[in-house]
Structure 1
Amino acid sequence: MKNIFNFKEFLSHLTTQPGVYRMYNKNGIVIYVGKAKNLKNRLSSYFYSKINNRKIEILVNNIQSIDVIVTQTETEALLLEYNYIKLYQPRYNVVFRDDKSYTYIFLSNDKHPRITMHRGTQNKKGEYFGPFSNRFDIQKLLKLIQKIFPIRQCKNNVYRIRSRPCLQYQIGRCLGPCISGLVDEQEYKVQTNYVRMFLTGKSNKVIDKIVTRMEKASIALHFEEADRLYSQIKEINTITEKHCIFKNIFLNKNYQDNIDVIGLAYDYGIICLHMLFIRHGKVLRNSNHFLELSISTELMKVIQKFITDFYFSNKKTLEFPNSILIHFNLPKANLLEDLLSKIAGHKINIQYKLHINDICYLKLAKINAMNALKSYISQSLIIKKRFIALATFLKIDNINRIECFDISHTMGEYTTASCVAYNKNGPVFSDYRHFNIDGILPGDDCAAIKQVLFRRYNKNIEKNKIPDLILIDGGKGQLLQAENIFSALKVSWNKDHPVLLAISKGKYRKTGLETLFLKTEGKGIFLPHDSPELHIIQHIRNAAHNYALSSHQKKQVKIQCTSSLERIKGIGPKRRQKLLKYMGGLQSLINASVEDIIKVPGISFILAKKIYHSLNY
């Protein structure tokens, strides 16, 4: 089955800013990480452009959801993409490299080391920094490094045969090690070491060393040398100040600290808290949390409660930060600090007035909170509009809750049923249910629907959980069974309230050609393929199908991994152990006769016959 990801809805409220996107499959696993200068344009290309690459086509068909994190520049996006690829190691990030490896920055192990871009097997002697996914971005980075640290980038065959310095030496971008006696060997080693430190995130140490050398040069009255060193410091500061994430990875003196950043956005009575989890100066992951705010509730109290609950509920799995950065004044922050410090076992500071190095992270969190809230509200409003359109189509006053049922089996075996619930805000995951179906003829979907509906509704149900509409994946046969069940129900709640609607995929089983049945007599109803009421029905039906399929697959795997003896009634763990021990294994037991099985202590003649027939027929 193809993915049910509604890309049109997702793209309709996507930002055009630069950033990083993560694609997830149906199991919630990140399958691809990418960056974009324009997120909307880049992600649109996956769905609106003609795909000639089979690998990309497979990726798109496996997308279940996408989330994005907005950055201030494309370079920030590159570095964040690199961190996420290292963290998640997505499957398709490897597949898409045309059977080649990622691009690295390579520092050779020659007498005069060369810095260059490397792609392929790492069989050369030297140091590799990366990986990076885009070679053009590495070329930009190499130009910046060459501008700051004048070490060679020329190929070895050119380096060995030169008789005079090249243009790079003339413009001060190379020390000219190709010409004997032109460069101080010690100076070249120093510059090489600076590059090494810079690429491993120790720019603060590089600056400290250069500052020390500049001061010594000034004292010795070597003003030209001091000016050159000052220019070098200025260039490092320029590159690290230009990009937020660059700055925090390469410059921040506290880059080893663990920091959580919370960005806040609020609108339409909904709060969005965007959390950035920064470990060792790198943005490892992010998450969005949405809270509804009633008129009588104070905003800061809700946020304070959320922060407390979040860290307390995740105390076993979360690596606690040293600092939490916020851009709003939180009342009684000192009490919250004390509580979180006790949970973490070390001091946690909640910082409101921030150092300039941390402001960019906070700005990043705020931007992402605003984008996530905009997306969330758009999504909720779309669902509400579709609920209204569906209520109008069905000619009922209002729809607050929809439940949908689907059946899944493999040629009649391992039959399971699913029930998913939706309200005007989207799926209600806490009310999702799956049912194991027994006692029916293999492949009888109508009997399966009859059983699951009886089990779901033949009991007392809370008033707010009585569905206004019940969707059934099937045709007239399934709808007839549903009507029979509801007419036979003897319950205290109003069983005539829910509207029953069957949705059949039709002869060709194509999306958009579904037939709807409100009655078991007469012809079905066809809705336009672009109608909002059909979209919400398809969306909920597909959610029920996926949930039924996942439950069925889990059941199938569990049964296949279970011993044949475990499926025989009357054979518990102790008897099973005795049978296997006495017979010398399962294969010997299968080959044994009824007379042989009776000899096992505790096994009667009737039970022996039952075991024999179960294992041989």
Structure 2
Amino acid sequence: MTSDAVHPDTSPPAADADRARLLAEVAALPALPGVYRYFDAQDQVLYVGKARSLKKRVTSYFQRDHAGTRIGQMVSRIARMETTVVRTEAEALLLENNLIKTLNPKFNILFRDDKSYPYLKIAAHAYPRLAYYRGAVDRRHRYFGPYPSAWAVKESIQLIQKVFKLRTCEDSVFNNRSRPCLLYQIRRCSGPCVKIISDADYARDVENAERFLLGDTQEVLSSLQTKMMAFSDALAFEQAAEVRNQISALSNVLAQQSVEENSATGRDRDVDMLAVEVRGGRACVNLAMVRGGRHLGDRSYFPAHVEEATALGQEELQERLEDRQAAAVPEVQVLEAFIAQHYLESPVPPLLVLSHAVDKALIEALGEQSGQRVHVQHQPREQRRIWLDMCIKGAELAIARLLAEEGSQQARTRALVEALELSPENMDTFRIECFDISHTAGEATMASCVVFEAHQMQASQYRRYNIDGITGGDDYAAMRQVLTRRYSKLAEAAQLGTGRLPDIVLVDGGKGQVSMAREVFVELGLDLALIIGVEKGEGRKVGLEELVFADGREKVYLGRDSAALMLVAQIRDEAHRFAITGMRAKRANIRTGGSRLEDIAGIGPKKRAQLLQRFGGVRGVANASAEEIATVKGISKELAMEIYRALR
């Protein structure tokens, strides 16, 4: 789909009275920097923007002719607006991107960060330990990063273990060792747990590891060489040999790095490379990181609303042409959106190497926020050119892979729609919900519902249902219960026009499960044509499945190589996976008492550990009498009785 395409929109245009009031508000806007928000008649946010002059920027939306464009489509839907005046353009930039992340407007480029970045942590201790870490930072410990992936952190930990032999074991293990572990035997730990290494030597190794992570590798090598010569002069040849081995390991590590220390300047120790690629209505920003002079790898991001936002942003970008002398291209808009949104929550390094030039005001705002001067380069040379070329290639490969995957999924969706002779209004909103039942010999029955929409699985919309009050192993009753729970309220909402049913309801099973689904839909007054069962083929072989219909149609065999069958199998298998993982967790809770002991008021980690240690596990506690439980230190008779009741 090209960026010139305009999707039909069913939302009604704003009423004339609202438009007159809106135009009056626009006329009264001040010529000051600020942020504006547009809302439609349903009070859904359409767009968030910033401006050096609110009056000039907002007025341009309503005075120019935008007919037949995405801007015209958005402007026709604006029912009201909100504005916030700020002191500087930098403040406007920060507020704009905070609101974009919070409000998720339809016409803004939006980057979603599903999780925080991982760090390498050196935990505070008399003998500090290395650890992989993700989460809030505790100032007691030292953190290095962020890293683009968990793999990059774990690789760095292995390097430091190889060179500096710092421990990685938990404190509880460290404090209870009586002899060195396997890591000591394979020369990955210096054995501080049993005092094989002195406190001073271990502290020196920790210091050298920190300097290595900060990029001071030459200083570390010089320090080790001085130490080796001192041992040699003192005729301590065994210790000198150990330091020599350490120097050799460090040299090998440095030789394996793609970044040469001799060619890296001081600023090059911490650098982010950013490359953007826009193709086929999709965009990719590839972020590569250098920390401590070492290239740590890259990570790709794919924003939402690219076509809508780039169409709207062209005019705003054009207004800055004279100041920036840059081409008004979608790549610049996407890159600026990423920089603004990403570095609101992540630390910004002192140097950014970019594939495209960006607004100087954006970089100045980053500097103000971070409290340090941020340098930017988009036409680098030598080592930085190598880094950026690697990053650009990564962006090209990532978006090519994305488009190939999306093209395949869209083809599968289209194939299924054609095979079933459906006529959805919009293929991009075609929705399938699939159900599966899982249990072990009737124990811990769990039902799953997975959702396929917009040509991909929507994991955030998955749901699990605990099935109770049925005979163990009765899959039909379980299916009746989950479908009733899922669609009873949705059926009422759909009749009132406030809810939407899926286009297809898949159930994992043949005639029996389809008959049960049919009964539920008849009771709820829903269309039976929605229900399709996935029946195993002869010998339950993959590729021989047939589709069974609740409305009386004949079975359909799609064919082993059918794209439609591939999609059905993908959704069915995902429902099965989601159901069985939930069932196993539930079964583990039932069999071990899982969270039941922790859920009892008055039982903290210490008392729980004492109970488990005394009785050999939750099952042992459950089999104990109240009197026996009361013999555990810290457990009163009243609490013992409460535990006894809870576990029985």
- TM-score normalised by the shorter chain: which range applies? 0.5 to 0.7
Q: Show CA shifts across 1:434-493 (max 9, x none).
A: 222211111112111211112222223687853111111111111111111112126xxx
TM-score by length of 2: 0.50
Output aligned runs, 1:157-172, within 5 Å.
none
Equivalent in the alignment of 2:533: 502
Partner of 1:140: none
Selected match of 2:258 from 246, 249, 263: 246
Letter in 2 for 1:562: G
Deviation readout 1:73-121 (Å, 9 max, x if unpaired): xxxxxxxxxx99774469xx9xxxxxxxxx99xxxxxxxxxxxxxxx96
5+ residue gaps in structure 1?
A: 1-82, 94-102, 105-119, 124-191, 203-239
Question: Any idea what SS the aligned residue of 1:408 has?
Answer: strand
- Residue 556 (structure 1) aligned with residue 584 (structure 2): no
Asked if the contact 1:446/1:478 (under 8 Å) is kept, the reply is yes
Equivalent position of 1:72 in the other structure:
none
Residue 453 in structure 1 maps to residue 483 in structure 2: yes
Structure 2: give runs of 5+ residues left out of the alignment.
1-148, 164-184, 189-244, 314-329, 631-635
Determine the C-alpha separation between the residues in 1 that align with 2:518 and 2:577: 25
| 1:486 counterpart letter in structure 2 | F
Asked whether the equivalents of residues 271 and 373 of structure 1 are also in contact (C-alpha less than 8 Å), the reply is yes
**Cα displacement (A) at 1:533:** 0.7
Q: What TM-score do you get using the length of structure 1 for normalisation?
A: 0.52
Letter in 1 for 2:349: P
Q: Distance in 2 between matches of 1:325 and 1:497?
A: 57
Alpha-carbon distance, 1:548 to partner: 1.6
DSSP 3-state at the match of 2:418: helix
1:467·1:498 contact (CA, 8 Å) conserved in 2?
no
Q: CA–CA distance in 2 between the matches of 1:305 and 1:445? A: 50
| Residue in structure 1 matched with residue 437 of structure 2 by the alignment | 407
Is residue 286 of structure 2 the alignment partner of residue 258 of structure 1? Answer: no
Q: What is the rounded CA distance, in whole Å, between the counterparts of 1:488 and 1:193 in structure 2?
A: 75
Write the distance in 1 (CA, Å) between the matches of 2:294 and 2:603: 56
Distance 2:390 2:640 in 1: 70
279-288 vs 526-535, greater mean Cα deviation? 279-288
Map 1:351-370; keep pairs closer than 5 Å: 351-370=377-396
How far did residue 502 of structure 1 move?
Answer: 0.8
**Cα offset for 1:324?**
2.1
Cα deviations by residue, 1:543-564 (Å, 9 ceiling, x for unpaired): 1111222222333334444369
Aligned to 1:322: 350
Question: Does the aligned pair in 1 maintain the 2:287–2:298 contact within 8 Å?
Answer: yes
The reply to whether residue 444 of structure 1 matches residue 474 of structure 2 is: yes
How many pairs were matched up? 377
- Given that 2:504 and 2:532 are in contact with CA atoms closer than 8 Å, whether structure 1 keeps it comes out as yes
CA change 1:383–1:249 in 2 (3 A) is farther
Shift of residue 312, structure 1, vs aligned partner: 2.9
Contact in 1 for aligned 2:275/2:354 (Cα 8 Å): yes
Q: Is residue 303 of structure 1 aligned with residue 315 of structure 2?
A: no
SS of 1:388's equivalent in the other structure is helix
Using a 3 Å threshold, how does the CA distance of structure 1 residues 573 and 335 change in structure 2: closer, same or farther? same
The alpha carbon displacement at 1:263 in A equals: 1.4
**What percentage of aligned pairs have identical amino acids?**
25
Would you say the 8 A contact 1:389–1:533 is kept in 2?
Answer: yes
Task: Note if contact 1:276-1:285 (Cα within 8 Å) is conserved in structure 2.
Answer: yes
Code of the aligned partner of 1:525: V
Question: 1:274·1:369 contact (CA, 8 Å) conserved in 2?
Answer: yes
User: In 1, are the aligned partners of 2:588 and 2:594 still within 8 Å (CA)?
Assistant: no
Match of 2:25 in 1: none
Within 1, Cα distance between the matches of 2:288 and 2:584? 35
Matches of 1:199 and 1:603, distance apart in 2: 60
Residues 341-356 of structure 1 mapped to structure 2, 5 A cutoff: 341=367, 344=370, 346-356=372-382
Matches within 5 A, 1:118-133: none
Q: Which residue of 2 aligns with 1:391?
A: 417
Equivalent residue of 2:540, what SS? Answer: coil
Matched to 2:357, the amino acid is N
Q: Deviations for 1:394-452, whole angstroms, at most 9, x for unmatched residues?
A: 11113511111112222221222221111243122221222222111111121112111
- Supply the AA of the counterpart residue of 1:277: M
Counterpart in 1 of 2:293?
A: 281
Aligned position for 1:236:
none
Kindly indicate whether the alpha-carbon contact (under 8 Å) linking 1:479 and 1:520 is maintained by their aligned counterparts in 2: no
Structure-2 separation of matches of 1:476 and 1:312: 54
Q: CA deviation at 1:539?
A: 0.9
Corresponding residue for residue 468 of structure 1: 503
For the residues of structure 2 that align with 1:304 and 1:289, how far apart are their CA atoms? 13
Q: Closer, same or farther in 2 for the Cα pair 1:327/1:517, shift >3 Å?
A: same
Corresponding residue of 2:399: 373
Asked if the contact 1:263/1:362 (under 8 Å) is kept, the reply is yes
**Distance in 1 separating the partners of 2:392 and 2:545:** 43
Give the superposition deviation at 1:574.
5.6
1:523: Cα distance to partner? Answer: 6.7
Secondary structure, counterpart of 2:397 in structure 1? helix
